[in-house]
Structure 1
């Protein structure tokens, strides 16, 4: 059953919480995805089978939460995640960040490192608005964003187009994690498919080179795509969580 968290910013976040032992697992979804996705539901079922605490939720403007997607930005969604972590979980958690969720996880790690037991990045996409999305637009698209405030672009995963706003890009510049020191004082496991059309393998390599971390490892999976949701990929994620909890 869906429950709702009222945030200090006046947003209403939909979530599913599973009671269990710690360290719990918090799933952080991707850009314009929601908590009903394959990875989130699979990990919840796995956590229940293990008797482990688990939380999945929708950022504002996503899924069943309040707000509209076009009004949001990385900073808002990171605030949502911080409130969910602070108010719905106890003790250090294992953050599993998928795509944009990997960026959100790194922002949480920078803000409240003592609440992070470990981090699993699945096709993690830190700084993507600045480093890949904006450069990937045409000159005409960038001009339209600057002049009109937003554009719509095709979504490669379903029929709903992405709305990209000037606010999204301007806020993204203030949330960057790969341009200033990034201390991750806990184990980190990164997973990346070689056929990922959204996040290049150079991204996790850059993160490894940039961050200060006592135990950071990257697994490259041949022929896996950005969804990283095949049975074998899903088992890799749970194996990483298990390794971080042992």
Structure 2
């Protein structure tokens, strides 16, 4: 909630007098002792609950990494409440893909045997076997189409070290929406947290809000 992107969006919305909600997913700021209970499905419930309890009417969702994936899932679940999405380095199908393609054999063995894997990079946190397996129920890239029809804006750095930018291209192709833009930053990395990255995100949201206010 206190990241640069979230705060910049809050400042923009205050300035433009747009309602704005930012929140933490269950367990996102807690210690690893609660990690075993966390799944992508639980986070989707968190998002839908926030929409239900803290907002009214159609909403634009802005999600970074896993948040972009969850935004698409929410739009599939509740299309009348999601009128647009800005996905930043959208990490669709990321957990299983990371397990299959990017973990070393030693890391896979640790995850399979202990049910949990902690990464050396503290920013990467930990994952559990349960989280990986449950996430397969929510895969989008294996579908023939993604039933999301609201306007979509995908922003992705071509130097993303965690989630290949081609995932955003795939999501754009698979979505059933007609109004879809993919914006690539040649030198952008996964966090998209540089000043110029954040400026692009805010500008993209502003443009989408103006686009939707005209329909």
- Specify if TM > 0.5: yes
2:36, 2:130 within 8 Å by CA — same for their partners in 1? no
Q: How many residues align?
A: 208
> Given the alignment, which residue of 165, 168, 174 partners 1:201?
165
Using the TM superposition, give the Cα deviation of residue 97 of structure 1 relative to its aligned residue in structure 2, in angstroms: 0.8
- Aligned 1:53-92 pairs, distance under 5 A: 53-63=19-29, 68-92=34-58
- Partners of 2:171 and 2:36 in 1: CA distance: 28
Using the TM superposition, give the Cα deviation of residue 133 of structure 1 relative to its aligned residue in structure 2, in angstroms: 4.0
Gaps of 5+ in 2: 211-215
Query: TM-score scaled by structure 1?
Result: 0.79
Greater fraction of residues in helix: 2
Query: TM-score scaled by structure 2?
Result: 0.90
Aligned match of 1:231: 195
CA RMSD of aligned residues (A): 1.8
- 1 or 2 for the larger relative contact order (CA 8 Å, sep ≥6)? 2
> Given the alignment, which residue of 77, 87, 108 partners 1:121?
87
Using the TM superposition, give the Cα deviation of residue 44 of structure 1 relative to its aligned residue in structure 2, in angstroms: 0.6
Using the TM superposition, give the Cα deviation of residue 70 of structure 1 relative to its aligned residue in structure 2, in angstroms: 4.3
Greater fraction of residues in strand: 1
- Partners of 1:169 and 1:64 in 2: CA distance: 19
Q: 1:160 to 1:182 in 2, by over 3 A?
A: closer
- Partners of 2:124 and 2:165 in 1: CA distance: 25
Aligned match of 2:213: none
